[in-house]
Structure 1
Amino acid sequence: MAENIIKYANTKSIYLINNKRFIWGNVKPDCAPKYKFKKHYFNESINMIIEKIIHLSSLSLEEIYYDMTIGKFSEELGVICHFLCDFFCAPHYYRWEFKSTSAVKHHMMYEKNLAKVAKSFDPTGIINTHVDSSNIEEFIMQLQKQYDGTINYYNDLTFSYYVCDSVLNMILNNVFINENKVIKVI
């Protein structure tokens, strides 16, 4: 999905993202101990993701280039997208935990099939341009209420692309707004 998120992103600032590091960031939560042992469910992870979104959207171009690096910035965007996608994925919504072999198999098969459908899925390209760091939590909470957890790949993909694209667009737009504020001060 990471490749498609980049491919279909509705932002002119997409060049700020290193594709390889963004893709790694999308995989990292399933591999790195820092995230692997944290539950990928909404209630357990939403605060961490909101904090990451607010932090990245507070940065300027200069801070990304010289303090954080484009690679680390891209990776963090990927981590955010991984968790956002999990929040709008039936196995995570219904908490299909890995407590038995059959539960693991069921969860993994759903996500494997979801990945297959994602390859040919064409996102609508709709983003919410009224999202900013002051209302990002409300935006995600409202979207989570709208998501009904229907066990349907297209439902999961529609919500996942919408939330990721809206959040990516908001973060990248804020980076440029923050840069303009820095320039005006100078």
Structure 2
Amino acid sequence: MHIYLLALLAGDLLQILCLAKIACLPPNNADQQLYFTECRLTERARTLTIDSVLPKTENGNISYPLDFSKQVLIFEVTGRNSGTEVSTLLMDLELQQFIGLKPTSCKWLSIPVGAFLRNIDAGLEAPIHSGDAVLQIKLTLDNTHPFLLIFSSGNYYAVNAKLKDGSYEKPTAIGCLRMEFMIVK
């Protein structure tokens, strides 16, 4: 009898928490479009500045919310490289979810998977030359498949991506990008 009541209470608590996630007001209009900003990185290290980020399909069409049922997520990043040519772009990713018990108390919480998301290849098809640049960053979802279980449709997530020049033995930070978004599966 006690186990049944405990299971019933646990189920009710889980249902409340699931409803609470849905109740969060969209951060930075993430229900309508991908939000991006440059995240903190020492200015001396920053050689890649970012002006815009557009989520695209493999056909080149803008696609939002992000569709996690696809094998590849593509982001068209427009910016400027004030450093040397970058032939290999690596990323360290930090994942966050926007969650709370009521709409006014929602906040970003880190999802503890960081050790597994280091030195991810950005899938560049061409080097990033000095000057104005348009990058096609491609994230293949099958590489991080176990982490896809964390995500659920209609919720808000963020990725902090530390961008690194992987052309050297020790990758060097060149920029940082934060994207806030909603997903569908």
**As a proportion of its length, which structure holds more helix?**
1
**As a proportion of its length, which structure holds more strand?**
2
Task: State if a TM-score over 0.5 links the two structures.
Answer: no
Bigger RCO of structures 1 and 2 (CA < 8 A, at least 6 apart): 1
Give TM-score scaled by structure 1 length. Answer: 0.32
